Each structure stands twice: as structure tokens, then as C-alpha cells.
Copies of this chain bind each other. A is one copy, B any other.
Amino acid sequence: MAVYNFAAGPAMLPKEVMLLAQQEFSDYKGCGSGIMELSHRGKLFAPVRDRAESNVRELMNISDDYEVLFIQGGASLQFCMLAMNLLNGGSADYALTGVWSDKAAKEAKNFGTAHIVASSKETKYDHIPCFCEWDLDPKAAYLHITSNNTVAGSEYFDFPTPPEGVPLIVDMSSDIMSRVIDVNKFGMIYAGAQKNLGPAGVALVVIRKDLLSRTKDCVPTMLKYSTYAENKSMFNTPPTFAIYILALVTDWLKAKGGIAAIEKVNIAKAAKLYNYLDQTDFYFTPVAKENRSRMNVVFRTPNADMDAKFVAEATAAGLTELKGHRLVGGCRASIYNAMPEEGVDALIAFMKEFERVNG
């Protein structure tokens, strides 16, 4: 039975990547050791790290004005690291569009003021507030947004324009490399790898070089962006295996035609699923139509018992990890880059049959 894994993260990786990594797992390039057993400063790992960076730069069209860093701790560590490095007792603007953006704002409060410019919290994050209503501070240290809300199932398809001189910082954990963006619009982009880039255990940080000098000396070495920038992210031992998988995933994405090509597939996959959701009364999605995420499709059956039945029967049919986030319940199909269109087709076919029997 073909299994399609709809986990929100850690999530499915491209089949080709999994098979190649498996093949060379215990004997990398004939050296007799696995890549995870090798020194990060040795001749075999160095080109892997360099390729991970050059792939990211090529795919996202990143200029030399930016550093590309690999940091442990996930996006959650970035919530405080960002504020430690760039806030410095000032005030930063935060838009609350989901639980993760809320957490990011809370962590900033230890290092200055988190000014909430917009929020959809009162309506359970069912939409992205219109930029026309945002209360932007022209003196903000930065403006922070979460481009895709993994739990709520919403996504920004445009980006706000911050006041002049205010860098736009974005947590792209769950839609990084799923669509073409202009990196030059951002002061910093960060993303945990475990959705679109690789396994859990490494976060990608793309930061404009001029921002590095904002960090005070008293910030601990391991929490300064400059430490990673000055040491090719190898001040200490990096998570070598996670970076290796990220290199393979980005190799795969390049071979697929890059981000523009995968974006087309992602648009088609999401459209199929939302089109089906819109033409049935059995399933329901709470997200505003114009903000529906292409990565995390959140939906419900008529009631919570039926949701549980749906998830259990889908799992038995090889459509796994469809349970919604524990904070919101319901169902969620995460359809990142690695999910083939056939997986979405199989899900829709199952949903139709489940509706026929239970509707």
C-alpha cells in the first residue's frame, strides 16, 4: 500500500532523498563511515555544508548582502535570538496571525517592547488582518510576521511594506521554498527545517549583513548571529546530518526545476483540495478564502467524533498524520513540497468516499 504522510512537521521528505540517504548511510562515498560519523571540519563534510549554503542561495536568489546561516534550536529559539540580537531594549512590531507569531511576540518582551500592530486572535486566527489596518511604528526595531500559520492554516500572499528603515522579519518555517519571494524585501528570514527543508534539528536563517552590527557584545557567543556568520555556522559542531539532508533536499528541489516550478505544483495541489472542500457541505474550513494556506489545509467534519473517525480510517487507508494540531483539533493535511500530487488525489478520493458513507 502506498503511504502518504500528511504530518505538519517533522514531515515527509522527497522519496528520492530518503532512498539516497539510506543507501549511503553507513558508508559515505566509500570512506567506510557514515556522514554523521565524520568530523565537521574534514574533507568530506565541508563540501556538503558549502553545497547546502550555495543551494539555498541559488534557489532563493540570495545576494551577497545576506548571510545564510544554519542554527540549532528550531524557529522557537529564533524567537528569543532575534530579539536578543536586534531589539536591544527598543520596540518591535509584531502581527499576530497564529499561535507561533504569538509565541514570537512573547519572547521579545524580555528584551524590549513587543508592539502588536494587528491581530486575528479574537477570531481564532481565521484570517490575516488587512494591511490597511496595521498600526505600524516608524521607529520600530523591526516588523515581524509569520508568513504561513501552520496551526491556523492561513498564509500571506502579499507582504506588508514596513516604514522606511524598518526591516521586515519573517518566520517562514512552513512555507519556505514553497513559492518565489523577493528576499531583498526582508531584513531576515528564518525557518525550522522540518517542514520543507529537511529533518528537525536545524533552522535556516537568512539575514541582511548590515543588521549583524546591531548586536551588543554582552549577548552570549552561541546566540549571536555574527558568530555563525563569521564561522560558516561552524563555531561549534553543527548538526551535520541535518545539514546533509538539507543539502540533499535542496539538490532535489533544483533538479525539480527550482522554486518557481514547485510553486506551480503547490498551487495546483492546494487548489484541488480547496475546490473539493468548497463543493461539499460535509467538510468545512474555517479560514478566510483569500488567506488559505497552500501548505497546511485545515478542515473539519461535522463534529469532533467524526473527525476522529476520519483520521483513524484515513490512517488505515495509508493517509497518515491527518490529525489537527492539539490546540485546535479537527483535521489538517500538510502538503509541503515533498507531497506528490498523487497524495492529494488519494486524499480527495478518500474524503469523497468517507463523505458518501458518513454524510
Chain A residues engaging chain B, CB cutoff 8 angstroms: 1-3, 5, 7-13, 15, 18-19, 21-22, 25-26, 31-34, 36-42, 72-77, 79-80, 84, 103, 106-107, 110, 192, 194, 199-202, 218-223, 235-242, 245, 318, 320-321, 326
| Chain B neighbourhood of A238, CB < 8 A | 200
Distance in angstroms between the alpha carbons of A223 and B110 in the assembled complex:
12
Contact present for A241 and B240 (CB under 8 Å): no
A32-B318, A237-B74 are contacts. A37–B13 as well, Cβ < 8 Å?
yes
Of B7, B33, B39, B202, the residue contacting A8 (CB under 8 A) is B39
| Chain B neighbourhood of A72, CB < 8 A | 72-74, 77, 201, 239
Contact present for A33 and B3 (CB under 8 Å): yes
Contact present for A220 and B40 (CB under 8 Å): no
Distance in angstroms between the alpha carbons of A22 and B236 in the assembled complex:
27
Distance in angstroms between the alpha carbons of A26 and B76 in the assembled complex:
27
Contact present for A199 and B241 (CB under 8 Å): yes
List the 9 closest A-B pairs by CB distance, nearest first.
Answer: A3-B32, A201-B239, A80-B220, A76-B236, A72-B72, A22-B25, A18-B26, A36-B199, A201-B201
| Chain B neighbourhood of A25, CB < 8 A | 18, 21-22, 25
Contact present for A201 and B241 (CB under 8 Å): yes
Copies of this chain assembled into the complex: 2
| Chain B neighbourhood of A202, CB < 8 A | 201
A110-B220, A241-B201, A326-B41 are contacts. A32–B9 as well, Cβ < 8 Å?
no
Contact present for A239 and B239 (CB under 8 Å): yes
Residue in chain B with minimal CB distance to A72: B72
A25-B22, A42-B321, A220-B107 are contacts. A237–B200 as well, Cβ < 8 Å?
yes
Contact present for A77 and B321 (CB under 8 Å): no
Contact present for B40 and A10 (CB under 8 Å): yes
Residue in chain B with minimal CB distance to A71: B73
Contact present for A80 and B240 (CB under 8 Å): no
Distance in angstroms between the alpha carbons of A194 and B34 in the assembled complex:
13
| Chain B neighbourhood of A3, CB < 8 A | 31-33
| Min C-beta distance of A225 to chain B, whole Å | 14
Distance in angstroms between the alpha carbons of A222 and B321 in the assembled complex:
26
| Min C-beta distance of A79 to chain B, whole Å | 7
| Chain B neighbourhood of A245, CB < 8 A | 36
| Min C-beta distance of A182 to chain B, whole Å | 28
Distance in angstroms between the alpha carbons of A11 and B242 in the assembled complex:
16
Of B42, B74, B106, B236, the residue contacting A236 (CB under 8 A) is B74
| Chain B neighbourhood of A38, CB < 8 A | 5, 7, 10, 321
Q: Indicate the member of A42, A110, A199, A238 with the most B CB atoms within 10 Å.
A: A199
| Chain B neighbourhood of A201, CB < 8 A | 72, 201-202, 239-242
Contact present for B32 and A5 (CB under 8 Å): yes
| Chain B neighbourhood of A9, CB < 8 A | 39, 237
| Chain B neighbourhood of A10, CB < 8 A | 36-40, 237, 240
Residue in chain B with minimal CB distance to A13: B37
Residue in chain B with minimal CB distance to A216: B110
11 inter-chain pairs at a CB distance below 8 angstroms, sorted by A residue, are A10-B237, A18-B34, A18-B37, A36-B200, A39-B321, A73-B77, A76-B222, A76-B237, A200-B237, A200-B240, A241-B241
Residue in chain B with minimal CB distance to A201: B239
| Chain B neighbourhood of A73, CB < 8 A | 72-73, 77, 222
